[in-house]
Structures are given as C-alpha cells and as structure tokens.
C-alpha cells in the first residue's frame, strides 16, 4: 500500500455504488482506497482486499467504528442504505447525520461526496409526504448545509437516478413484468408524458472520479 497516495474512504464498499467507486480508484495513481464494510469476512470484502484495497470494518450505528474508518481520509464517498433496515424508517436519517458529524471532525478531509436524493415532499409541494427513502437523504443534506457549513464547503452532493440493477434486486416491486401476450412491461405511477430516468449503477465510478478531479469547482453543489 502506497502511503504517499491520498486516502479515499468508501462506505458501502461491497454494495453497488460503493463497489463501483472502489474499483475505479483502485486504478488511481493519486489515491489509495479504504473499503468500509460491516463484515470484512464476506467474499466480496476478501476480493477487494486481494485487489489491493485496505478493507476495514465499520457500522453506521457505531460512532466509534466510523471515527476509526474516517481517520486520515482526504476524500470520503458516503452512501447510506434505507433498505438495509426498514423496521425503523428514520434510521437512515440518524445514520447520515452521525456520519456527517464525524466527517466534519476529520482534519485531513478535503472532499466529501454524499450520495443523496431530492426531497419528494418539497418537489411535489407537499402532495407526497411519505417517500421516506428520498426525504431522509434530503434532510441529511439540509443538516449538512445548515449545521455543518464548513464541511458543506468541501462537499459535493450526488443524485443518482434509479438503476437497472434494481430490476433483479427487487423484481416483483421494481422490475418489468411479463404480460400474457408476451412482452415485458415496466409499470410506473405518472402521467402519460412522464419520463423516468434509469442508469447503470456501475457507472457511478466515472461520475465520482470526475467530481473528485473537478475539485473545488463542484464543492457546495449538487451533481
């Protein structure tokens, strides 16, 4: 491991987004990667270690583990997962704020990329108030902007559209359904002219690399 390189800490390193970012920066001449996962014995985590990542254990619900995970970071890719524990609909908000609080105390940190989403309550003018997995992330962004202004000036917020991989992760809920007459139909709520963007989540890596390369020009902004 090259200690002369800057340190990028990636949360959710064995997931879709984080895993993509890890793969991109393992090739970087400027950064070394600390891949954060709750279980370092998972096959995916072991693969990352063999590929050259520093694999470290941390849990969003354990502040001490996050402090250790963030130590020495020059850049952090922060993503939370609402679907990880739906028994407490507000746990993602708590986890996001906890991670932001700790990141704000890291003196070496130059750039935080926070994977968030817009507030559905806000964009619908209050018509839809219970899209929690959007609104929680938006509330963390608001907390970051208003309560952690010094960190906000070093932060880029990334909004990622729904991704195709969700079709096989949640096939009955989100995937196209085969019709009796043969074709597959993707059903969504919306007017006849509504457009629903989708992305390949593995391309998150390219966007995050560009964000970090842009440096100060994208800090305090939403991409």
N- to C-terminal Cα separation, the chain: 31
Burial per residue of 145-177, b for 16 or more beta-carbon CB atoms within 10 angstroms, e otherwise: eeebeebbebbbbbebeebeebbeeeeeebeee
pLDDT for residue 187: 84
Residue 42 tokens, joined = 């998972």
pLDDT for residue 192: 81
Distance of CA 144 to the CA centre of its chain: 15
Residue 207 tokens, joined = 């966007």
Q: Is 86 exposed, middle or buried (0-12, 13-18, 19+ CB in 10 A)?
A: exposed
Query: Angle, to 10 degrees, between the axis of helix 132-147 and the axis of helix 91-103?
Result: 30
pLDDT for residue 18: 98
pLDDT for residue 23: 98
Q: Is 52 left (phi over 0), alpha (psi -120 to 50) or beta?
A: left
CA dihedral 219, 3, 45, 109 (to 10 degrees): -20
**What is the tens place of the pLDDT at every residue in 112-124?**
999 999 999 999 9
Q: Can you give the pTM of this predicted structure? A: 0.94
Nearest Cα neighbor of 74 from 140, 24, 18, 5 is 5
pLDDT for residue 1: 59
- Alpha-carbon distance of 179 to 27, in angstroms, equals 44
The low-confidence residues of the chain, meaning pLDDT below 50, are none
pLDDT for residue 60: 97
Mapped onto helix, strand or coil, the DSSP state of residue 166 is helix
- Alpha-carbon distance of 17 to 11, in angstroms, equals 9
């Amino acid at each position: 491991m090259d200690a002369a390189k800057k340190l990028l800490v990636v949360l959710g390193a064995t997931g879709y987004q984080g895993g993509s970012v890890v793969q991109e920066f393992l090739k970087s001449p400027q950064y070394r990667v600390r891949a954060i996962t709750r279980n370092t014995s998972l096959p995916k985590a072991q693969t990352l270690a063999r590929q050259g990542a520093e694999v470290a254990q941390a849990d969003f619900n354990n502040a001490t583990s996050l402090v250790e995970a963030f130590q020495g970071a020059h850049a952090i890719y922060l993503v939370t997962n609402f679907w990880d524990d739906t028994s407490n609909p507000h746990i993602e908000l708590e986890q996001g704020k906890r991670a932001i609080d700790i990141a704000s105390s890291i003196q070496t940190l130059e750039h935080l990329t926070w994977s968030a989403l817009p507030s559905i309550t806000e964009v619908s003018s209050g018509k839809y108030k219970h899209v929690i997995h959007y609104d929680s992330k938006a509330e963390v962004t608001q907390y970051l902007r208003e309560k952690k202004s010094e960190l906000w000036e070093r932060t880029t917020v990334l909004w990622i559209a729904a991704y195709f991989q969700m079709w096989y992760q949640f096939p009955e809920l989100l995937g196209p359904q085969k019709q009796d007459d043969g074709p597959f139909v993707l059903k969504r709520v919306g007017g006849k002219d509504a457009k629903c963007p989708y992305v390949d989540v593995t391309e998150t890596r390219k966007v995050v690399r560009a964000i970090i390369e842009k440096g100060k020009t994208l800090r305090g902004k939403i991409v």
